[in-house]
Structure 1
Amino acid sequence: MRLIRGSLFAFVLALIGLAVSTVTEPPRSAPDLPAEAHPALRACFEGVWWVVDFVLTYPLYAITAVAVVCLPMALSSLSTLLPRRIHTDPQRLFTNQQRSIASSRAGGRCEMETIFFTRCRRLGAAGDHWYPWSLGGATTMDNQVWACTSCNSSKGARIPTFWQTARLEMRRRRYFPPDASLRPGDRVRA
């Protein structure tokens, strides 16, 4: 997001520079442009010569302007390369008791959705972390969904979207006990 803002800022600055260059005349050091040049092409060359003249006349201001535009973009892209510490739950696997509770809540059937947002018809085989354990998901009953092997492997370590979570919550209203938490997803708090 910061990279997009920085790029947008650089684009706006370039547009302002181009607008100023079309209003002003080329510097004295610029060669004469041919008279038969198209006005748009002439405006582009005037803009280029305006930038060249500005850099030659005010090098410190030019370096500062480049630093102001490029430094935030470079820092934001650098921060994405640095590793982040993800706090994971010390318990990786669900216990036998947690798995049996999840299976009985789901009626032994997979809780994941198929292509038309309907519940999968296969029998569940394992408890899956709705919010992935590797990305900070907790190993709790609130984060466990009962899934068949096919749905479990196809989900992988992706974070479910808001809408996937809302649809699972709506499906759970039909078969979950009234006292159980319907909304899946629980994270480890650092």
Structure 2
Amino acid sequence: MAILAGGEGRRVGGNDKGLLPLAGKSLIERVVGVLKAQVGSILICANRHADEYARFGKVLADAGQGFHGPLAGIANALAHNAADWLLTVPVDAPSPPRDLAGRLHAAATAERADAAVAHDGVRRQPLFALYRSGLAQAAAQALEDDLPVYRWQDGIGTLEVDFSDQAQCFANLNTLEEFREWETRHAR
């Protein structure tokens, strides 16, 4: 699994979003806590605070300087992935589906697809995806071509998998206000 935590944190005052506390635990801690039982190993795509992230898995930084978006993390993780499949998730969704890997894998293998992505019933959730490791070259090319993740997924024939029964699991936190609102809702 690769947790995508390489953003700039512009909407949270430049802070590293994955390390921000949420009801007593960091976002990275929450995501790992939900998904670690579904995967064999954990890669964390992060461009800063590598020592702090290393407590949770092997840290990979984007090639080159700066922040290059989620496809850079996906391409890098695919290049370093030793397993047959790679699950990707964003660090800013604190409650991912507990059956994410299993459902994506079952759908991909049943349809003989090289990639599967969650659909929440309203829209595709492009960062909640499963890829065959053989897609590393295609991801690197898409990154070089400056494609957004969803366009690359379209190009490789990614299968959309219905997760409308768990749509709330894809809620992500982008601002400090959203962090506080989540804490208020889940404190009950």
- Comparing both structures, which one devotes a greater share of its residues to helix? 1
Q: Which has the higher contact order (CA 8 A, sep 6+)?
A: 2
TM range (shorter): under 0.3
Q: TM-score, normalised by structure 2?
A: 0.24
Question: Based on CA coordinates, which of the two structures has the bigger radius of gyration?
Answer: 1
- Comparing both structures, which one devotes a greater share of its residues to strand? 2
Q: TM-score, normalised by structure 1?
A: 0.24
